Amino acid sequence: MLPSDQIALASGIVSVIALVVAVYAIRKGNKNSSVATLISLSESCRAAWNRFLSAPNNDDRAYELAELMNTLEIAAAIVNEDSLAGVSKTLLRAYLEQVITLLKNNAFASEQIEHMLSEPKTFESIQRFYRAPQDAVPSVTRPKGWFQH
């Protein structure tokens, strides 16, 4: 084997190793980014829930519910775009399923959300989350009156 062939072979091996390292770094970066996104979104949802639950009257409660729904809309958009990786994706999907069920079962929230749906594109990402195949969100019972446009 000529020295030029040995150099070419060594270069090929180094290139393959570099590619493997790059793929690993990208995957690790995606997971770290997903966790950071989930933590930030979790904090936003927690604050929105606190404001909604501690609102002193129904007008303030309705306003804070709208803010909570806007935060959930962002969460649904992230799920719909498949922007998260690993367990972060699973946790956010499960959180949305549980929260939607809680809101559906709360008479005040359910009535207010129906009033918020004045336009077909209102909460479009949540609507898309609902239209996912049943096996994607099996535990979600789609509330009557919500997203029937």
Residue range 20-61, pLDDT digits in tens: 777 766 666 666 678 888 999 999 999 999 999 999 999 999
Domain ranges of the chain: 33-130
What is the b/e burial string over 12-25, where b = at least 16 CB atoms within 10 angstroms of the residue's CB? eeeeeeeeeeeeee
Q: Which residue has the higher pLDDT, 51 or 141?
A: 51
Q: What CA–CA distance (Å, rounded) separates 84 from 144?
A: 30
Computed on alpha carbons and rounded to an integer, the radius of gyration of the chain in Å comes to 23
Band of pLDDT at residue 147, cut at 50, 70 and 90 = low
The answer to whether 45 and 71 have CB atoms below 8 angstroms apart is: yes
Query: Are 43 and 35 in contact, with CB atoms under 8 Å apart?
Result: no
With beta carbons less than 8 A apart as the criterion, state whether 78 and 92 touch: yes
List the one residue out of 101, 109, 104, 96 whose CA is nearest residue 62: 109
Percent of the chain with pLDDT over 70: 82
Q: Are 100 and 50 within 8 A, CB to CB? A: no
What pTM was estimated for this model as a whole? 0.74
* pLDDT score at 106: 92
Any idea which residue has 């996104």 for tokens? 37
Q: Look at 122 and 58; give whichever has higher pLDDT.
A: 58
